[in-house]
Every structure is written in C-alpha cells, then in structure tokens.
Chains A and B, each alone.
Chain A
Amino acid sequence: MASFDFLDEVRRMNKRQLFYQVLNFGMIVSSALMIWKGLMVVTASESPIVVVLSGSMEPAFFRGDLLFLTNHQDDPIRVGEIVVFKIEGRDIPIVHRVLRLHEKENGDVKFLTKGDNNMVDDRGLYAPGQLWLERKDVVGRARGYVPYIGMVTILMNDYPKFKYLVLAGLGIFVLIHRE
C-alpha cells in the first residue's frame, strides 16, 4: 500500500516538478562525479582512491583497505615507497613496494617492485619480456589509508546483482522523494 502512495505523489506532479525530480537525481550523480574528477585534478592521479585487492602487502595493508594516492610528476620515486601501478595490457592496479631503482640524469627511472608478503619480486607479474617498470605505469603513490571500508567495493564487484539492486533502489528513491 505504501508503494502505491508513492506513485500517487508522482502522478500528481506537474511537468516542471517532474523535471525537477529528474534534475535532483542528475545533480546528486553530478556532485559525486565532480568530487571524483576534482580529486583527480588535485592529486594528478587517474585513480585517486583504490581498494587493496590482495593480501600481498600484509601487515601494512590488508584486503579491503582504501588507499589515497597522489601522482605529482615532480615528486621523485624512491626505494621503499609504496606505489600503485598498472601493468601494460591489464586493468587491475597492483599495490607493492619499490625494491630497486635506476635513475638517469634527465629524470627517467626504471624500478622493480615486490609485495611485502610475497616471496619473490614482481618480475613474474610483469608483461613477458618486461624486467622493469617505468614512470608511466604508475597510477600513484599511497599517501594515506582507511581500513576495511573498501570491502563494500569488493562485495559489489563480486556480486554485481547486489550492486545493481542497491543503485536502482537509491535511484528510484531519489526520483520519487519530494523535498
């Protein structure tokens, strides 16, 4: 019975009010989008917030931790820093520590990474024939973290139906609810 009451509200709205409801939804989505893009501009990273997907960096980071990254080009990469990088041809970002680094005078670097909790360095993960990573592979460097929160993202990706259900529910709620 409650759901039919909601539909009554919608039926009673005139064209302008309906358009405003749609705009309201659009503005909420736009605000989230603009905050994300704003973070991208401020941190200079294409993915300013990432979720740790594996346990290869324990006990520093656990699966499900949320990391905040920055990627300013004038900041040099140094051994011991935790970098998030993508291997060419693969989408998934990897969070590991820099083990060895070679730097030329003009600033070009080649570096090797290893997960704290792994037995071997990452050469097994790199593309066939690739022995070193370069600046362009780096998504960002970890500057801060929040534990556990990223588990929601992992759950939503493992169960896409749950994700669509939550998003659809939120969307319908915003479209129908009048302020």
Chain B
Amino acid sequence: MSSEKAADNVFKWSDDGKPVKVDKWNGTTVKNALDDAVRMIMTKHFNYEENHKLMDQRLVICTISCLFAVTALIYDFLRPFPESRLVLLICVLSYFILMGVLTLYTTYVEKNHFLVVHQKDPAGVDPDKIWTVDSCMKRFDDMYTLCIMLEDKQNNISHEATLTKSVGSWFDEAGELVGENFLKDVCALHDGMLTEKKKK
C-alpha cells in the first residue's frame, strides 16, 4: 500500500499544493518543515485523526496569562496608580506564576511531542490506538531524529521506533523538500512498527 502512494505525485505537502521550500541552512525552519511534513503524512496518507489536546492546553495557558496582563493594563488606566496597587500585584504575581506553569508544562508534559494522532478502529468498537510523534534536531547539526511511539490500550502494548538521518537525504540543493524520500522513510518506520506488533 505504501509503495503505491509513494509514486503518487499528487500528494500535497502543503495546503496550497506548492512545493515546500526552506532556507536549508536555517536549522529551525528545516525542522519545522519536516515536522509539518510528518503531520501531513500521518493525517492525509495514513488517515489518522489529529489530537490537538497538547497544543490546545499550551494555547490556553498562554491566553490566560495575556488576559491577566490586559486586565492589569486596563485597570491601571481606569484607576491610576496608587489605587490600583492591589489589582496590579495580583495580576503580576499570577502572570509570573503562569509563566512558571508554562515552563513546567513544556518541559514535563509536552517534551518533544509535536504530534499526537488517533488511529480509529474501523469497526468502531475498540478504543483508538494512539500514535505520538517526537522529533529533535540539535543546533547546527544536520541529524534529524524522528521517534514514533504507539500505544495500544486494548492489547496493552506500547512500541517505540526511532529514525535518525541527515536532513541532506530529504532536501535538494535549493532547499526544496523531496517528498518521496521522506515519505518512504516515514512509512518504513511506521510499517516496521506495525509488523513488530503483529509478530507479538
């Protein structure tokens, strides 16, 4: 199945169908482009459903802190300084506490996960299998590490598979993502995990 799709050049790597082109020397943009490509593969190629919970929780923490800041701004504007002291104190403390919470959240809960997808059971009976995808790329290093974790609650199995490769194998001279190579590697990793499951 994966070999048929690999030959399918109609597979869109970005929403507007244009080829993904990045500044190949900028590590951050390269990693982000690869992460986005993995997201496209998992959602469009394998048709898994994306779970936005991790991202949404982060957005909520950030939004609440900004709201505290805006409240402090407006209250201080309406009732100038000496009267607004208590409200300002509460808002400032809450803001910095939330910043601490955010740091703890990104370090311990989010870690390197940038994607969580659910594989729905076709019969609609069994609980979803959850795929969590991590990625990391050190600064000024060309090695991209992709780590896929599968959690199958029903059979109580969890698997993990890692792929570390130089980004040079997926990007051409101009900085354009060569989709077929990347798709092949990700599918190999993914299918490898499924066959390993079936053996057990």
By Cβ-Cβ distance, the 8 closest A-B pairs, closest first, are A30-B69, A46-B81, A38-B92, A23-B62, A26-B66, A34-B95, A37-B88, A41-B89
Does residue A5 face the partner (Cβ distance < 8 Å to B)?
yes
**Are B81 and A40 in contact, CB atoms less than 8 angstroms apart?**
yes
Q: Tell me, in angstroms, the Cα distance from A20 to B63 when the chains sit together.
A: 9
Among B16, B22, B72, B80, which residue has its beta carbon within 8 angstroms of that of A37? Answer: B72
Does residue A74 face the partner (Cβ distance < 8 Å to B)?
no
Which of B3-11, B28-36, B188-196 lies at the interface with chain A? B28-36
Interface of A toward B, CB cutoff 8 Å: 2, 5, 8-9, 11-12, 14, 16, 19-20, 23-24, 26-27, 29-31, 33-34, 37-38, 40-41, 44, 46, 178-179
Collect the chain B residues with CB atoms within 8 Å of residue A34's CB.
68-69, 72, 91-92, 95-96
**Are A41 and B88 in contact, CB atoms less than 8 angstroms apart?**
yes
Q: Tell me, in angstroms, the Cα distance from A16 to B32 when the chains sit together.
A: 14
Does residue B178 face the partner (Cβ distance < 8 Å to A)?
no
Q: Tell me, in angstroms, the Cα distance from A40 to B91 when the chains sit together.
A: 13
**Are A16 and B69 in contact, CB atoms less than 8 angstroms apart?**
no
Does residue B147 face the partner (Cβ distance < 8 Å to A)?
no
Does residue B14 face the partner (Cβ distance < 8 Å to A)?
yes
**Are A5 and B89 in contact, CB atoms less than 8 angstroms apart?**
no
Among B23, B52, B59, which residue has its beta carbon within 8 angstroms of that of A23? Answer: B59
Collect the chain A residues with CB atoms within 8 Å of residue B55's CB.
16, 20
How does the 8 Å CB contact mask read for B46-84 relative to A, with 1 for contact and 0 for none?
000000100110110011011011101100100011100
Q: Tell me, in angstroms, the Cα distance from A27 to B59 when the chains sit together.
A: 11
Among A12, A23, A46, A179, which residue has its beta carbon within 8 angstroms of that of B36? Answer: A12
Collect the chain A residues with CB atoms within 8 Å of residue B32's CB.
9, 178
Collect the chain A residues with CB atoms within 8 Å of residue B85's CB.
41, 44
Chain B at the A interface: mostly helix, strand, loop or mixed? helix
Among B23, B29, B76, B99, which residue has its beta carbon within 8 angstroms of that of A178? Answer: B29
Collect the chain B residues with CB atoms within 8 Å of residue A33's CB.
69, 72-73
B117 to chain A, nearest CB (A): 14
Collect the chain B residues with CB atoms within 8 Å of residue A46's CB.
80-82
Q: Tell me, in angstroms, the Cα distance from A37 to B75 when the chains sit together.
A: 11
Q: Tell me, in angstroms, the Cα distance from A118 to B80 when the chains sit together.
A: 33
Known: A8-B21, A30-B68, A46-B81. 8 other contacts (CB 8 A): A5-B23, A9-B22, A12-B20, A27-B62, A34-B68, A38-B92, A38-B96, A44-B85
Q: Using a Cβ cutoff of 8 Å, how many contacts connect chains A and B? A: 79
Collect the chain B residues with CB atoms within 8 Å of residue A38's CB.
88, 92, 96
Collect the chain A residues with CB atoms within 8 Å of residue B73's CB.
33
Collect the chain B residues with CB atoms within 8 Å of residue A29's CB.
69
Q: Tell me, in angstroms, the Cα distance from A29 to B21 when the chains sit together.
A: 31
Nearest-CB residue, chain A, relative to B96 = A34
**Are A27 and B65 in contact, CB atoms less than 8 angstroms apart?**
yes
A-B contact pairs, 29 of them (CB 8 A): A2-B23, A5-B21, A8-B21, A9-B29, A11-B14, A14-B15, A16-B52, A16-B59, A20-B55, A20-B59, A23-B59, A23-B62, A26-B66, A26-B69, A27-B65, A30-B66, A30-B69, A30-B95, A31-B95, A34-B68, A34-B69, A34-B72, A34-B96, A37-B92, A38-B88, A41-B85, A44-B82, A46-B82, A178-B29
Collect the chain A residues with CB atoms within 8 Å of residue B58's CB.
20
**Are A37 and B96 in contact, CB atoms less than 8 angstroms apart?**
no
Q: Which of B95-143 contact A (CB under 8 A)?
A: 95-96, 99
Collect the chain B residues with CB atoms within 8 Å of residue A41's CB.
85, 88-89, 92
